[in-house]
Homo-oligomer: A and B are copies of this chain.
Amino acid sequence: MTESSAFRTDRYELTMVDAAIQSGTADRECLFEAFARRLPDGRRYGIVAGTGRLLELIRDFRFTDAELTWLRDNHVVRTPTLDWLADYSFRGNIWGYQEGEAYFPGSPLFSVEGSFADAVVLETVVLSVLNYDSAVASAAARMVSVSLGRPIAEMGSRRTSEYAAVAAARAAYIAGFASTSNLEAGRSWGIPTMGTAAHSFTLLHDSETDAFEAQVAAFGSSTTLLVDTYDIRSGIDTAVAVAGTGLGSIRIDSGDLPTVVAGARAQLDSLGAVNTHITVTSDLDEYSIAALSASPVDAFGVGTSLVTGSGAPAAGMVYKLVAHRDDTGEWVSVAKTSAAKISVGGLKRAVRRLDASGTARAEVVLVGGDPADTTEPAEETGRDRVLLVPLVTDGVIDERYLGAAGTERARLHHASVMRELPIEAFRLGRGEPVIPTLYEHR
C-alpha cells in the first residue's frame, strides 16, 4: 500500500480511459452521478456519509512512479494513457449532499462534472467510500433514534476489516454516536475514544477482586468495571466492594438484558452505588436498543451490527454517466435503458420540500436543473431546502469538509436533518421511504 489512493480502483476504469483516449472521446465533458436506486431492506431513509474522507482520497488520487511502472509492466494501458495518468489530478467540479444528510431513492447525492477520463477514474473510490460509510451511518442513525438520548459507543473494530473499522467509527460519530473504541479514528478524525477492559483482564488475574483492584489502582474508581466474567451478581458485589459507592460504571456484556439490567440497578442501589452507571454491550442492534427503552441503561456499546450496516452492509449506490456535452457544447442526457436497471439521465438539482412546520414532505429532483445553482426555489406553503453544495470547484476542494473539523460539521448537519424528518421515519419496522422522491422536469 502506498499513500496514493489511485489503485483503490477497478481495472476497467483505466481500460476505458485507454480506449477513450484512442477514440478521441476522453475529453468529452461529462456529468456522473452517484445515487441509490432504492433504500435497503425496508428502510425509511438513508444517511450520506464518507464525503469528507472521499474528498481526501480524491485529493490523493495520483499515479506515482510505483503505479505507472506496475501498469506498464502489466500491459494494462498504453503509453499515451500512462502519460495522461502521470499528469492526473481531478480538475473538474463536484457537488454533493452535505455529509450527514438524509437521502432517498434517486437522490443525486454526489455529482461529478469533468472530462470523461477525469471523472470515470474516480468511480471505484467514490462508490467504495459512499457505499460503506453510508451503510454504517444509516444503521447508526436508527440506533441513535431509539436510544432516547443515552450515549452509544462504537465498538465494532474487531468485526470489520482493519481500515473499514476507522471509517465505520467516523460514520457512526457523524450519525450521532458518542465515541469509539478505535484509536486511529481518534487520531485521524478527532472522535472521542473510550474503553477500559475485556474479560481477558479478569481472567488474567487470580481472582475478580485482584483484577478490579488492579484496574481501580490504574484508573481510579470512576472507571468502568466489566462484571460478567463469572457471576454478574457477585461481580457487582465485588466491584462496589473494591471501588466503593463512587464506582463510575459497570459493563454488562451477556445475558437477558432487560432482566439482568433491572437486577443490576436494584443491586447497585441497595449497595449505595446509586450514581454508578450501567453500560450494556451484548450484540446490540437497533431492535435490542429499542427493547431496552424502559430499562435503567445509561449507555450502550454497539459492535457487529453497526459495522455491518445492520443487515444492509452496502448502501447500493451506483455511479452513472447521466449527461455529456455534444460537439456544440449542449448537454445531452444519457441513460441505460435495458431491463430493470433504469436510470434517469440528465443534469439535476435536488431540494427537500418542507411544509410550513419545517417537516420534510418530499425529495424533489429537478431534472434539467443546474447542480451549481444554489438559489432556493420559492414555495408558497413552506420551503425548498437546496441539497447540493459545491464540494470541489475547478479541482479545488472546499477544505471545510475535510479532517476532524469536517467530521464535526457533518455531525452537526446530521442532527439538524434528523429534526426535519417526519416522525414516521423513526419506526424500525420495514416500510416505504418516509418521503417520496418526485422528479420535476425543468
Q: Which residues of B contact A254 (CB under 8 A)?
A: 338-341
Measured in the bound complex, the distance between the Cα atoms of B61 and A52 in whole Å is 27
Chain A, range 21-62, C-beta contacts under 8 Å to B: 22-23, 25, 28, 30, 32, 57
User: Nearest Cβ distance between residue A135 and chain B, in whole angstroms?
Assistant: 9
Check A32 against B200 for contact (C-beta < 8 Å).
yes
With beta carbons under 8 angstroms apart, the residue of B8, B20, B167, B195 that contacts A10 is B195
Chain B residues lying within 8 Å of A16, measured Cβ to Cβ, are: 196-198, 200-201
Whose C-beta in chain B lies nearest to the C-beta of A315?
B159
Given the complex of chains A and B, what is the CA–CA distance between A1 and B56 in angstroms?
12
Question: Does A243 reach chain B (CB closer than 8 Å)?
Answer: no
Cross-chain contact A314 with B307 (CB below 8 angstroms): yes
Chain B: minimal CB distance from A230 (Å): 5
Residue A237 lies at the interface, judged by CB distance under 8 Å to chain B: no
Binds B, one of A213-221, A289-297, A370-378, A391-399: A213-221
Asked whether B162 lies within 8 Å of A5 as measured between CB atoms, the reply is: yes
Contact A125 B162 (CB under 8 A): yes
Residues in B with CB closer than 8 Å to A336 are 199, 203, 228-230
Q: Which residues of B contact A5 (CB under 8 A)?
A: 162
Cα of A28 to Cα of B7 in the assembled complex, Å: 43
1/0 per residue, CB under 8 A from B, across A1-22: the answer is: 1000101111111111011101
Q: How far is the CB of A324 from chain B (nearest CB, A)?
A: 6
A249 contacts chain B at the CB level, 8 A cutoff: no
A157 — which chain B residues lie within 8 A by C-beta? 8-10, 124, 128
Of A91-99, A180-188, A271-279, A415-423, the one contacting chain B is A180-188
A307 to B316, CA, bound (A): 13
Q: Are the CB atoms of B321 and A199 closer together than 8 Å?
A: yes
Among B132, B193, B210, B231, contact of A160 (Cβ-Cβ < 8 Å): B132
Contact status A20-B123, CB under 8 Å: no
The answer to whether A23 touches B338 (Cβ under 8 A) is no
Select which of B19, B57, B133 is within 8 A of A201 by beta carbon. B19
Contact among B197, B204, B217, B319 for A28, CB-based, below 8 A: B204
With a 10 A CB-CB cut-off, give which of A78, A194, A204 has the most chain B CB atoms. A204
**Cβ of A181 and Cβ of B10 under 8 Å apart?**
yes
Are A22 and B203 in contact (CB-based, < 8 A)? Answer: no
Least distance between A62 CB and chain B CB atoms (Å): 14
**CA of A5 to CA of B157, assembled, Å:** 13
For A168, give the chain B residue with the smallest CB separation. Answer: B161
B338/A158 in contact, CB under 8 A: no
Q: Does A308 contact B (CB under 8 A)?
A: yes
The verdict on A9 contacting B164 (CB below 8 Å), with A188-B1, A197-B19 known, is: no
Q: Decide: B161 and A128 in contact? CB cutoff 8 A.
A: yes
Q: A9-B183, A162-B5, A228-B338 are known contacts. Are A196 and B15 too (CB-CB below 8 A)?
A: yes
Contact A194 to B22, CB < 8 A, known contacts A159-B127, A254-B340, A255-B339: no
A337 beta carbon closer than 8 Å to chain B = yes
Of the A-B pairs whose beta carbons lie under 8 Å apart in the complex, a sample of 7, sorted by A's number, is A10-B155, A10-B183, A20-B201, A23-B213, A25-B204, A67-B187, A120-B198
